[in-house]
Amino acid sequence: MPEDEITDKEIYNLVFLPGFSTNENVTEFSGRGVGMDVVLKNIEAVGGGIAADSVPGKGTIITLKIPLTLAIIDGMNIKVGDSRYTIPTTAIKESFRPKMTEVIVDPDNNEMMMVRGQCYPILRLHDIYHVQTDVIHFTDGIIIMVEQDNKTLCIFADELIGQQQVVVKALPEYIRNTKKVKGLAGCTLLGDGSISLILDIGGLIFRQSA
């Protein structure tokens, strides 16, 4: 292929070729061109893919794609009405039953939770996902404090079900096409046969702060 017919994407992906190296000198630890080709081989072995993109002066992005059926996470299952949700445990700071004296409502009716002298926004899952529940008062439910990128959110739910490892699966198309799925990363099948929606904590925090 003539050099002028090679696209930028094809040039960037040369980094995944065996023996490719930018080092002029070969040492015991670098310069042998062994590394990214091994990554590519292992990703493709499980049915995934990898690609590189770069903008001069700004940076480089390496994108990994793996089948969702291979993604297993530790999750905390919670209940809201008749619905089930799963929160990745890596995002959970703590959970507790709140007191009304800890709840603050600002002039715009935004609800905040006071925890050790700090105020954090409260997100009622039954409100954003339009779930019918009898648990409306904070003292009847549970608060799960989650954090991502140094931003904290207090999620209000009916109750904790328990912690378990879950397999992340893609959301069905009919759910993805509705407006109520913002803040969802996927779904999983629980041991009792019920479906639990996996929360995208970063998406929920962004939604709350928008």
35 has a pLDDT exceeding 80: no
Which tokens belong to 26?
A: 């070969």
The whole-angstrom separation of Cα 44 and Cα 63 is 13
Give the pLDDT confidence of 179-199 residue by residue, as tens digits: 556 789 889 999 889 999 999
Question: Do residues 76 and 92 make contact, with C-beta atoms less than 8 angstroms apart?
Answer: yes
Domain spanning 70-209: which CATH class is it, in words? mainly beta
For residues 137-147, average pLDDT:
97
Q: Where do the domains of the chain lie? A: 3-66, 70-209
Least reliable range by pLDDT among 3-12, 79-88, 132-141: 3-12
- pTM greater than the 0.75 cutoff: no
User: pLDDT: is 16 or 187 the higher one?
Assistant: 187
The whole-angstrom separation of Cα 171 and Cα 187 is 6
16 has a pLDDT exceeding 60: yes
Nearest partner of 183 among 209, 165, 162, judged by Cα: 209
**Per-residue pLDDT, 55:** 87
Nearest partner of 74 among 58, 57, 64, 87, judged by Cα: 87
Question: Do residues 163 and 75 make contact, with C-beta atoms less than 8 angstroms apart?
Answer: yes
User: pLDDT: is 27 or 141 the higher one?
Assistant: 141
The whole-angstrom separation of Cα 170 and Cα 196 is 12
For residues 63-68, average pLDDT:
78
Mean pLDDT of the chain: 86
The whole-angstrom separation of Cα 85 and Cα 78 is 5
pLDDT band at 209 (very low <50, low <70, confident <90, very high): confident
